[in-house]
């Protein structure tokens, strides 16, 4: 299958919050790009983003950027619910819809938000993938659960540590 998915924190759970110009954020994005490039060079061609703010968004944007040099790679959006971005800022919504327009495939899991729909999205991403790239601060939560799920399913895993 040669598929990669991403998991990681939303901006509010990162030390630099929403400041993507912070040096630590720039380093994380650079590490993420390096992992994606290594995956491409290793034969991975399909990339799945859960389309959340933060790491999912950065990964999707990076795949789209790398598609210019590697037109054979594909980006899929695995959308947990139609109203995923309902409470986001206008700027974040524009970014979200811009990525969606450029995706090669969009998969909607359910129409409306329900408790557990984000966790379902995370499990489905892992199940559809061979390789999981994670950005993790070492704390419990959705990213930790997704990493543990990937380990239980014996998926290849790269973890980029956040301080």
> With helix as H, strand as E and coil as C, how does the chain read?
CCEEEEEECCHHHCCCCCCCCCHHHHHHHHHHHHHHHHHHHCCCCEEEECCCCCHHHHHHHHHHHHHCCCCCCEEEEEECCCCCCCCCCHHHHHHHHHHHHHCCEEEECCCCCCCCHHHHHHHHHHHCCCEEEEEECCCCCHHHHHHHHHHHCCCEEEEEECC
Q: What is the pTM of this model?
A: 0.96
**pLDDT at residue 15 in the model:** 83
Residue 1 has pLDDT above 70, yes or no: no
- Domain count within the chain: 1
- What's the CATH code of the domain at 120? 3.40.50.450
Structure tokens at 89: 């800022």
Q: Is it the case that residue 56 has pLDDT exceeding 80?
A: yes
Host domain of residue 135: 3-161
pLDDT of residue 134: 98
Which tens digit of pLDDT belongs to each residue from 110-122?
Answer: 999 999 999 999 9
What tens digit of pLDDT does each residue of 118-149 get?
A: 999 999 999 999 999 999 999 999 999 999 99
Write down the pLDDT at residue 147: 97
Structure-block tokens of residue 147: 């990493």
Provide, rounded to the nearest whole percent, the portion of the chain with pLDDT above 90.
Answer: 92
């Amino acid at each position: 299958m040669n598929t990669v998915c991403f998991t990681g924190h939303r901006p509010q759970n990162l030390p630099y919050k929403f400041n993507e110009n912070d040096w630590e954020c720039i380093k994380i994005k650079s590490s993420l790009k390096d992992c994606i490039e290594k995956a491409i060079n290793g034969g991975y061609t399909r990339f799945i983003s859960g389309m959340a703010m933060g790491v999912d968004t950065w990964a999707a944007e990076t795949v789209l950027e790398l598609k210019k040099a590697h037109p054979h790679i594909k980006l899929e959006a695995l959308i947990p619910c139609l109203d995923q971005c309902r409470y986001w800022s206008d700027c974040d919504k524009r970014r979200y819809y811009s990525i969606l327009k450029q995706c090669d495939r969009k998969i909607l899991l359910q129409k409306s938000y329900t408790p557990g729909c984000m966790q379902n999205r995370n499990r489905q991403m892992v199940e559809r993938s061979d390789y999981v790239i994670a950005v993790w601060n070492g704390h419990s939560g959705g990213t930790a659960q997704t990493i543990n799920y990937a380990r239980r399913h014996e998926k290849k895993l790269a973890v980029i540590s956040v301080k």
